[in-house]
Amino acid sequence: MTRTLLIRLVFVVVIVLVGGSVMAQGHEVEEAHGSALDLVFRVVNFAILAGALVYLLKKPLANYLDAKTEQIRNDLAEAVGKRERAEAERKEAEARLAGLDEEIAEARAKGLAQAEDERRRILQAAENEAARLTEHAKKEIEAELELARRRLTARTAELSIEMARKKLGEQIGDADRRALFEKGLEKLGEANR
């Protein structure tokens, strides 16, 4: 509290106490003079008290009421500002929500396109792998076939030689063998020279 207000409050309290003591004296006078004088005394006492209160509290009460009025105006202006900001935020949120459906649709379309691209890529990779495995299997089969041909050819040659030996053994006698042996030695001798 300000000093001036404190002084005025003390003054009001003093007036109330003095008014109370005057009223107490008025009671004593009433008994002596009657009720008309008491009524006048009370009205004068009330007028003095009211006048003192008005004089002492007029400016602080007016200042308080003015400050309170200004505070209410400021609060109202602030509330209007907050309301306008809230309304703007609400409209912005509604706009975002309206745009959200479009964003979801775009994201869904983009996701589907990416999924389709990924499916194609995986399918192409699988086809490439299948072609590679098929080519590898063909090469292995060809290698196995070539190996089987060689073995078959070698076995056929072995069997042919064995059959030829048997036939020659049956058709060539000991004298023919000696003649072939000697002829082979001659050829070897010529080749060594």
- Summarised one tens digit per residue, pLDDT across range 17-55 is 666 555 555 555 445 455 888 888 888 888 888 888 878
Residue at 187 is within a domain: no
Residue at 118 is within a domain: no
pLDDT of residue 74: 94
3-state DSSP assignment of residue 173 = coil
Residue at 31 is within a domain: yes
Compute the distance between CA of residue 103 and CA of residue 107 in angstroms, rounded to an integer. Answer: 6
Residue at 89 is within a domain: no
Residue at 19 is within a domain: yes
Tell if the pTM clears 0.75, that is, is over it: no
Task: State the residue range of the domain holding 39.
Answer: 1-61
Residue at 18 is within a domain: yes
Residue at 142 is within a domain: no
Q: How many domains does the chain have?
A: 1
